[in-house]
Structure 1
Amino acid sequence: MALAAVVLVGANARAARAEAPWLEASSEHFVIYAQDSQRDITRFSQQLERYHSGMALLLSSTAPVPSPSNRVTVYVVRSESKVRELYGEGSKYVGGFYVPRAGGSLAIVPAVTSANGVANWSMVVLLHEYAHHFLISSNPMAMPRWASEGAAEFFASSKFEADGGIWLGRPAQHRAGELYFAKDVEAADLLDPAAYESRKNKSYDAFYGKSWLLYHYLTFDPARKGQLTRYFELLRAGKGQREAASQAFGDFDVLEKDLGKYLKKSRMAAVRLTPDMVPAGAVTVRALAAGESAIMPVRIRSRRGVSSPEEASALLAEAREIAARYPDDPAVLSALAECEFDAGNDAEAIAAADRAIAADRTQVDAYVQKGYALMRRAAQAPDAAAAYKAARAPFIALNRIENDHPLPLVYFYRSYAEQGVEPPPLALDGLIRASQLAPFDHGLRMNLGQALLRAGRREDARTILLPVAYNPHGGGGAEHARRIVERIASDPAWKGEGDTFEGAAEEEAATPPPAG
């Protein structure tokens, strides 16, 4: 997971160059880029690693360490208003967000304070977003929205001890005002999405707070022991959300009354993990060179994704200006290649990527951007076979550098599929492996499900697509996946003929408590 402090693009980005130097702190699950002191960025990295270790311990997760490029990139901006600006439309209550992408997952949160003690709001947002990433990576089944948000709030309500220990599952004090004063949400609303949709309005409600309360209650209350596990088992068995909840938790009115009593308790349980239980591992810190520091704001905005040709053009102009001042910096050239690609300039993107690779053959992003540009050019090439073979080359080179990077595996498959050629079995195996490396990328799951369906592996396709189909944040992708799953069940002869979908990652938005 990579974390970077973000500053404004344009004039504000130039002003930021006079601020504190950028540092990189690298650890097993995080790469942190921040304008901070070496002491603070090291402590920050260690806290995040201990948080990861704590979640892994409590959830009995044995997920392998991700490859360097498959760590999450977390960008820390100056304020919640900047978070909302980067999020775009529908950001009124967003305090941070997470975008799961194979080889490029990112979270954007406001400025984080890594002092020991109870996590402040900005740290809570970051921990909330990483909890989503961890939960998706550890469990292929899509959790109902209340459980997903409730679990993220449960783990994010943490406290870091000076000795290296950590508290998890503490009361979510930042949701207290929401639970007492925001528009009420009942347990039945959480457990029956149709009921919630029929009642909700545009005003802020207590969905996040009530989700935390229900998850905390079901985790710690002795009278409800085992019910949460039973609920998830029923969902995995194919039960609907309301039916599973009714069988696991009983009468919803009784549950609502019990939650009310639980909320009024003067003390609540939490889990303290000692330092030896939550190892942080090694952290390596380096100072970024001048060019890499200068390009960082552009790189961050580009990674988030440009939303219009006009935005791509404006960002490219700044990238070119910085590249003119640092013409030999491989990090600058890699970022320039991405901006050129986003602006539709394939030849220029390839040229910038080649210069970056010539300066530093380990520049992973340069191989990716060159591959993207060559793939896009290949779609219009007169000799498709030769063009797609050329497009595979940078991804094959990247695979040699980082064997478990998922993107080379994805684009090896696509280089055949997009030219209308049956991908060889090795390519399909690679796509399966990519999904194993990046189970959180639901666009990749969609592509794999369709590939398996075309290959006649109907049950495998259904298994891969179910988490997409029932993802509460999935939008149109989830609806599309549900239609495929339903047709697999109703049409035994269908192998996906006529079905197309351009997979895209969904976004998880962490909502702060209302102001005031």
Structure 2
Amino acid sequence: MIRVLAALTACLALFASPAHAADDIWKRADTRHFTIYSTGDEDDLTAFARDLERFDGLLRFWYDKPDRPGKDPITIYLLDGSRGVQKLLGSRGVAGYYSPHIEGTYAVAHRGGGGWRSLTGQRVLFHEYAHHFMFNEFAVPAPAWLIEGFAEFLATVEFGEDGSWTYGKPATHRGAELRYFDDAQIERLLSWPDGERRLIAGFYGWSWGLTHMLYTAPDRGARISAYIERLSAGEKPLPAARAVFGDLRQLERQLERHVRGDMEYGVSSETFPWSQDVALSTLPVAEGRMLELHLRRMGGHKLEDTRDDLAAFAQAGALSADAYAEMAMAEMWLEERQREKYKEEHEDDDAVEDKEMGGPYFVAAEAAADRALALDASHLRANIVKGRILSHRLYEDGNTDGEAWAQARRHFQIANRTDPTNAEALYRFARSYAREGREGPMMHDAYLAAFNRAPQTRAFRVGLAYDLARLGRHDDGIALLQMLANDPHFPKPGRRAIERIEAMRESGTKFPDLSDIDEDFEPDDDEDDDKE
């Protein structure tokens, strides 16, 4: 209670303050593909936004990918420096990260310089957006080394004031890694993660080196395309590599000479289309404070403190429905952490049943969601939270009452009416039928719409893959999961989902066996985020 009162006092003081330093006021830049929040200079924000749009245009030009409407923009938060990013996560050595989260894809970076690792905020975001671009635009089983090497290669793109652009500059922040791990281990690099549980030493550095060597070769990456075609046809990584690259030991020696030599890079003045429009706005103080609290909640560090500050902010009367909805999400994440802790403590005790999702945080989450809905019955986030709580309770109780499921589903429908473009509401609606154990109308359409809006989001990709299997399209579902299964950051969901689809094919069942995992709750520990 003392903590809540102290936070409330701080909030009231914030609203009572007659002025705030310009550097503390949040600005928003809206472009075709990005929504960017930042404090600081507006001109710098505009220039940053245009560089990101120009980068998107370059990638579409380079890889011949037309812009497709109906995609969710990425939300980007620019903090003062890398320490702000680290404080947000409670983790040292992080300059920025990208999260294809079910609530909306976002990235966090900083406005500062790169320091000794040369990781400027722009380089971090170019790396992360390259990942995003790959998952959105390429329906191929890209191997782990290429997923990471692709992002590292493109991260060093630079734009000149004269309209020129530079590509292929060395990733100097990988220099120490390559010097320390001076063996490319080419066969393990090409075949990871097949049979490997941990990344090989120097994985990121050597992945960048191999990608750089192949993309700067005279054929400009043609061998990469040929290699991917063989993987798409079902060939194993090493046989495909030998067929395309030749003797792998020779390839390894060539790679080691490449990264230790004088690397060439390209400069071009070739023009390409890109969206230059940037709409700037300034957030009111209350909205800026809500933005900070939302970002803290998504970061997940010191979640109890964030929950208490949200409660204080809601009681202060500004944006209360938003604050209560955020508070409900914080409570749900705290419940999930408590549940995971319980499982870890009792993992060797066969006599202890799984702890159900019904503890004090879960009760508090529903109370907070109800308070938000009392203030705004059509609130997007509050309806999604309430629908999740009701459907999860029905799922854990094994309840088959169709009307009760319809009541839970109604909250997802309200959220969809509030924002028909919201991918999570579409996904939750479709997912509720699977959790009920029956096939519902518009189920496949909702899964497909969610995936098309944000194919980079793991839950949407897995959900659609399961639904394709439900429709008898098992191979299509597995193909959709191959890139996810090769993700060097978090490959387990993709591999596990493939195994379940194979089991569905064998048994002839319509829905996968999810008895050993609750996929309704996204992990809040950001272990699947890409950090730099």
- Given candidates 442, 447, 463, the residue that maps to 1:431 is 447
Taking the aligned partners of 1:354 and 1:200, their CA distance within structure 2 comes to: 46
Is the 1:349–1:370 Cα contact (8 Å) retained in structure 2? no
Taking the aligned partners of 1:112 and 1:371, their CA distance within structure 2 comes to: 41
How far residue 384 of structure 1 moved from its aligned partner, in angstroms, is 4.2
How far residue 281 of structure 1 moved from its aligned partner, in angstroms, is 3.2
- Given candidates 306, 311, 318, the residue that maps to 1:320 is 311
- Count of residue pairs brought into register by the alignment: 480
Taking the aligned partners of 2:195 and 2:370, their CA distance within structure 1 comes to: 52
Deviations 1:45-70 (A, max 9, x none): 11111111111211222252445xx3
Does residue 148 of the first structure (1) align with residue 147 of the second (2)?
yes
1:507 is aligned to 528
- Given candidates 415, 427, 430, the residue that maps to 2:432 is 415
How far residue 38 of structure 1 moved from its aligned partner, in angstroms, is 1.7
Deviations 1:333-358 (A, max 9, x none): 54345335544224433334325637
Query: TM-score, normalized by length of structure 2?
Result: 0.78
1:356-367 to 2 correspondence within 5 Å?
Answer: 357=376, 364-367=380-383
Is the 2:193–2:486 Cα contact (8 Å) retained in structure 1? no
How far residue 39 of structure 1 moved from its aligned partner, in angstroms, is 1.4
Taking the aligned partners of 1:279 and 1:387, their CA distance within structure 2 comes to: 49
Is the 1:349–1:369 Cα contact (8 Å) retained in structure 2? no
1:403 is aligned to 420
Deviations 1:357-386 (A, max 9, x none): 37xx6x644443344344445556989434
Is the 1:346–1:374 Cα contact (8 Å) retained in structure 2? no
- Identity across matched positions, percent: 28
Task: Report the AA paired with residue 167 of structure 1.
Answer: T
Is the 1:381–1:387 Cα contact (8 Å) retained in structure 2? no
CA RMSD in angstroms comes to 3.6
- Given candidates 356, 368, 372, the residue that maps to 2:384 is 368
- Given candidates 234, 240, 250, the residue that maps to 1:244 is 240
Task: Report the AA paired with residue 106 of structure 2.
Answer: L
How far residue 293 of structure 1 moved from its aligned partner, in angstroms, is 1.5
> Where does the alignment leave 5 or more consecutive residues of structure 2 unmatched?
1-6, 15-19, 334-360
Question: Partner of 2:436: helix, strand, or coil?
Answer: coil
Does residue 121 of the first structure (1) align with residue 120 of the second (2)?
yes
How far residue 436 of structure 1 moved from its aligned partner, in angstroms, is 2.5
Question: Partner of 1:133: helix, strand, or coil?
Answer: helix
1:7 is aligned to none
Deviations 1:388-444 (A, max 9, x none): 333333432333343332222212212323233x23241122112222222212233
CA gap of 1:378–1:282, structure 2 versus 1, over 3 A, is farther
Does residue 27 of the first structure (1) align with residue 31 of the second (2)?
yes
Does residue 206 of the first structure (1) align with residue 205 of the second (2)?
no
Is the 2:177–2:202 Cα contact (8 Å) retained in structure 1? yes
2:465 is aligned to 449
How far residue 228 of structure 1 moved from its aligned partner, in angstroms, is 1.0
Does residue 348 of the first structure (1) align with residue 367 of the second (2)?
yes
CA gap of 1:242–1:485, structure 2 versus 1, over 3 A, is farther
Taking the aligned partners of 1:104 and 1:442, their CA distance within structure 2 comes to: 11
1:6 is aligned to none
Task: Report the AA paired with residue 495 of structure 2.
Answer: E
Question: Partner of 1:31: helix, strand, or coil?
Answer: strand
Task: Report the AA paired with residue 290 of structure 2.
Answer: I
How far residue 37 of structure 1 moved from its aligned partner, in angstroms, is 1.9
Taking the aligned partners of 1:195 and 1:92, their CA distance within structure 2 comes to: 30
Does residue 287 of the first structure (1) align with residue 282 of the second (2)?
yes
* Greater CA drift, 15-24 or 246-255: 15-24
CA gap of 1:177–1:329, structure 2 versus 1, over 3 A, is same
1:131 is aligned to 130
> Where does the alignment leave 5 or more consecutive residues of structure 1 unmatched?
1-9, 512-516
Task: Report the AA paired with residue 484 of structure 2.
Answer: V
CA gap of 1:52–1:367, structure 2 versus 1, over 3 A, is farther
Does residue 157 of the first structure (1) align with residue 139 of the second (2)?
no
Deviations 1:420-474 (A, max 9, x none): 3x23241122112222222212233223333333343333333333333444433
Query: TM-score, normalized by length of structure 1?
Result: 0.80
Taking the aligned partners of 1:334 and 1:425, their CA distance within structure 2 comes to: 29
How far residue 231 of structure 1 moved from its aligned partner, in angstroms, is 0.6
Taking the aligned partners of 1:210 and 1:50, their CA distance within structure 2 comes to: 28
- Given candidates 55, 60, 68, the residue that maps to 2:59 is 55
Taking the aligned partners of 2:414 and 2:510, their CA distance within structure 1 comes to: 33
Is the 1:63–1:138 Cα contact (8 Å) retained in structure 2? no
Taking the aligned partners of 1:56 and 1:279, their CA distance within structure 2 comes to: 9
Taking the aligned partners of 2:476 and 2:367, their CA distance within structure 1 comes to: 41
- Given candidates 226, 248, 253, the residue that maps to 1:257 is 253
CA gap of 1:196–1:423, structure 2 versus 1, over 3 A, is closer
How far residue 319 of structure 1 moved from its aligned partner, in angstroms, is 0.6
* Greater CA drift, 379-388 or 96-105: 379-388
CA gap of 1:321–1:176, structure 2 versus 1, over 3 A, is same
CA gap of 1:137–1:27, structure 2 versus 1, over 3 A, is same
Taking the aligned partners of 1:483 and 1:176, their CA distance within structure 2 comes to: 38
1:393 is aligned to 410
CA gap of 1:85–1:37, structure 2 versus 1, over 3 A, is closer
Taking the aligned partners of 2:194 and 2:87, their CA distance within structure 1 comes to: 31
Deviations 1:159-196 (A, max 9, x none): 12225554333332333343334454343332132799
Taking the aligned partners of 1:381 and 1:454, their CA distance within structure 2 comes to: 21
Is the 1:129–1:508 Cα contact (8 Å) retained in structure 2? no
Task: Report the AA paired with residue 458 of structure 1.
Answer: H
1:224-235 to 2 correspondence within 5 Å?
Answer: 226-235=222-231
Taking the aligned partners of 2:329 and 2:380, their CA distance within structure 1 comes to: 12
CA gap of 1:412–1:157, structure 2 versus 1, over 3 A, is same
2:347 is aligned to none
CA gap of 1:483–1:42, structure 2 versus 1, over 3 A, is same
Taking the aligned partners of 2:199 and 2:457, their CA distance within structure 1 comes to: 29
2:354 is aligned to none
Taking the aligned partners of 1:383 and 1:492, their CA distance within structure 2 comes to: 23
CA gap of 1:499–1:396, structure 2 versus 1, over 3 A, is closer
Taking the aligned partners of 1:349 and 1:376, their CA distance within structure 2 comes to: 17
Task: Report the AA paired with residue 299 of structure 1.
Answer: H
Deviations 1:302-358 (A, max 9, x none): 22347xxxx543322111112222435665454345335544224433334325637
Is the 2:313–2:323 Cα contact (8 Å) retained in structure 1? yes
CA gap of 1:334–1:99, structure 2 versus 1, over 3 A, is same
1:477 is aligned to 493
Taking the aligned partners of 2:249 and 2:65, their CA distance within structure 1 comes to: 34
Deviations 1:249-290 (A, max 9, x none): 11112112222443355451325355x514233211111112
CA gap of 1:378–1:185, structure 2 versus 1, over 3 A, is same
Taking the aligned partners of 1:120 and 1:382, their CA distance within structure 2 comes to: 51
Does residue 97 of the first structure (1) align with residue 97 of the second (2)?
yes
